[in-house]
Amino acid sequence: MPRLDPRLGAQLDFLLTCDRLKAVQRTTWLHDGTRPENSAEHSWHLALMALTLMDCAPAGTNGARVVELLLIHDLVEIGAGDLHFDASAEAHAQQAQAEAAAAKQLFGLLPEPQRTAFLELHAEFEAAQTTEARFARALDALQPMLLTWAGGGLGCAEREPQLTATRLRALKEPRLRDFPALWTLAQAVMDTAVEAGTLPA
């Protein structure tokens, strides 16, 4: 029986560990309202959004880098779980600490130089300093809105009664306003949902 190369063995361990992302339940539900989405579905949907909506990014944005950021950033939820975007500042600070520890543990499974490269992708997304990271974070802010309220979405008034259109705009604008097409889409989704009665004004 051939011996497995140690580098390949470490990569296999990482990939099988990442399969656990499929079991991480998110606070956002599927568009049809049948169940919560899981984090692996969320990551796939974000990567597809990046491929589909790259013309909403500034000229010169590296689309492949955006997809890499989106596929990597939520892997840490294997160790840290998901947190609703309307959670308290204290909860977000605790989540950031948990995700940093999870990133070190998860990406530590990989051989170098992949370990460093994946840690850098995670750090780039969190820092939101590059155009690619800011665009990735904008898509991440938009995706739950699309599932919840766009195209006849059912809303989440029973689960999140405090989430009004006014509060949602305040929460989402910082991530989306630098990308006018995405922010226009987000505002149209909110306005339509208010008219449909699925988002309290």
pLDDT of residue 79: 87
95 located within any domain: yes
167 found inside a domain: yes
DSSP class of 23: G
6-25 tens-digit pLDDT: 899 999 999 999 999 999 99
The reply to whether 201 falls in a domain is no
Tell me how far apart the alpha carbons of residues 162 and 56 are, in angstroms, rounded to a whole number. 30
Which long-range contacts link 170-174 to residues 24+ away (Cβ below 8 Å)? 171/85, 171/86, 172/141, 172/142, 172/145
107 in a structural domain: yes
Rg (CA), the chain: 18
pLDDT in the model for residue 25? 96
Mean pLDDT of the chain: 94
> Helix H segments across 108-179?
114-127, 131-149, 165-176
Cα–Cα dist 32/34, whole Å? 6
Residue 134's domain spans which residues?
Answer: 6-196
The answer to the question of residue 23 being in a domain is yes
Q: Does residue 24 lie in a domain region?
A: yes
Give the SS3 label for residue 94: helix
Residue 1 lies in a domain: no
| Domain count along the chain | 1
Are 72 and 50 a contacting pair, CB within 8 Å?
no
Low-confidence ranges of the chain (pLDDT < 70): 1, 83, 86
pLDDT reported for residue 86: 65
CATH number at residue 105: 1.10.3210.10
